[in-house]
Amino acid sequence: QSALTQPASVSGSPGQSITISCTGTSSDVGGYNYVSWYQQHPGKAPKLMIFGVSNRPSGVSNRFSGSKSGNTASLTISGLQAEDEADYYCSSYPGSSTYVIFGGGTKLTVL
């Protein structure tokens, strides 16, 4: 049950687009479409931004999108805004298991 691999940090300027990667294996990310992305501001609870690889919950801006290719999932944020500055975590559920694996988290800085 190794953690998924995310870059420690990414940055971008307001209005730009950034992509955060999340790399696992064929047993988790690559094998099933149960990848989620969470946004966490300091001192706050995580917030679901993407589920099922590419689905947005009601109320989440369409500036956030998710995708997957092979064993790597990606979160793309377009039109960066100051309020997007936060930590982002991916997760993957290895089908037929009972646990979930999280990535180590990526700190997004909006310059």
Partner 1 sequence: EVQLVESGGGLVQPGGSLRLSCVVSGFTVASNYMSWVRQAPGKGLEWVSVIYIDGNTYYADSVKGRFTISRDNSKNTLYLQMNNLRAEDTAVYYCARDFSHRQFDYWGQGTLVTVSS
Q: Which residues bind partner 1 (CB under 8 A)?
A: 1, 3, 32, 34, 36, 38, 44-48, 51-52, 57, 89, 91, 93, 95, 98-105
The whole-angstrom distance between residue 26's C-alpha and the CA centroid of its chain comes to: 18
Q: Which is nearer to partner 1, 10 or 48 (CB)?
A: 48
Q: Minimum distance from CB of 11 to partner 1 (Å)? A: 19
Nearest partner of 51 among 69, 34, 63, 64, judged by Cα:
34
Q: Which is nearer to partner 1, 71 or 92 (CB)?
A: 92
Nearest partner of 103 among 43, 42, 44, 50, judged by Cα:
50
Q: Which is nearer to partner 1, 77 or 103 (CB)?
A: 103
The whole-angstrom distance between residue 98's C-alpha and the CA centroid of its chain comes to: 21
Q: Minimum distance from CB of 93 to partner 1 (Å)? A: 4
Q: Minimum distance from CB of 36 to partner 1 (Å)? A: 5
Identify the sign of the CA torsion 28, 33, 34, 36: positive
